Amino acid sequence: MAYSDKVVDHFNNPRNMGSFKKDEEGVGTGMVGAPECGDVMKLQIKVQNDTIVDAKFKTFGCGSAIASSSLATEWLKGKTIEEAQKIKNTDIVQELNLPPVKIHCSVLAEDAIKAALSDYQKKTDSPQADGK
C-alpha cells in the first residue's frame, strides 16, 4: 500500500512537532492511544481569548498517524474552541486521502483534538487554574 503524497509530505516535514508544558496557562493536553496497533498520540493546544494560537503534537506510530496529527495541529491554529470542536476525522481522511485500513489514524487524531479541548476547558473551569 502506498502512502499519498500529502501523507509522505507530513511524515517527512511534520508541522508543529514538540510539546508545551502541561501546566502552562491556556494549554490543553490530549493524550490518546490505539490499543490495537499501539500508536500513541499527544496533541496540545495553546489558547488565548478563546482562540487557539498554537498547537503541537508528538506521535509514536505509523506514517498515517503522524500525518493525521501533524495536519490536525495545522488546522487547529487560528481556530476558536467552537470551530475546533467541529473538526471531524472524515475531513482528515479526505485531505490526506487515507485508505480504509488507515482510517483509525484519523479517528485517533480527532480523539486527540477532543481530549485536548476538554482538558483545556476543565483547566479553565476549575477556579485554582484561573491564575488571575
Partner 1 sequence: MLDPQQLEAKFYELSRTFHPDFYQTKSTAEQSISLGNAAVLNTAYRTLRDPIQRAEYLLGLEAGSVKDIRTSPPADLFEEILELQDTLDEYRASDRESDESRRLHTTLQTEQERLEQHKQEMETQLHRLFSDWDALQDAGEATADARVKRDQLLKQMRNLLSNRTYVNNIVNDLTATIA
Contact 7, 62 (CB under 8 A): no
Which residue in the set 8, 12, 48, 60 belongs to the binding site for partner 1 (CB under 8 A)? 60
Cα diameter, the chain: 52
Cβ 130 to partner 1 shortest distance, Å: 23
Extended strands (E) in 5-112: 27-34, 39-48, 51-60
- Nearest to 31, CA basis, from 18, 44, 20: 44
Instruction: Give CA–CA dist 14/73, Å, rounded.
Output: 10
Smaller CB distance to partner 1: residue 46 or 56? 56
Cβ 35 to partner 1 shortest distance, Å: 3
Q: Strand, helix or coil at 59?
A: strand
Cβ 60 to partner 1 shortest distance, Å: 5
Binding mask 21-50 for partner 1 (x = CB under 8 A): ----------xxx-xxxxxx-x--------
Q: Which of 37, 83, 90, 94 is flagged as catalytic?
A: 37
Annotated catalytic residues are 37, 105
Chain contacts with partner 1 (rule: CB under 8 A): 31-33, 35-40, 42, 58, 60
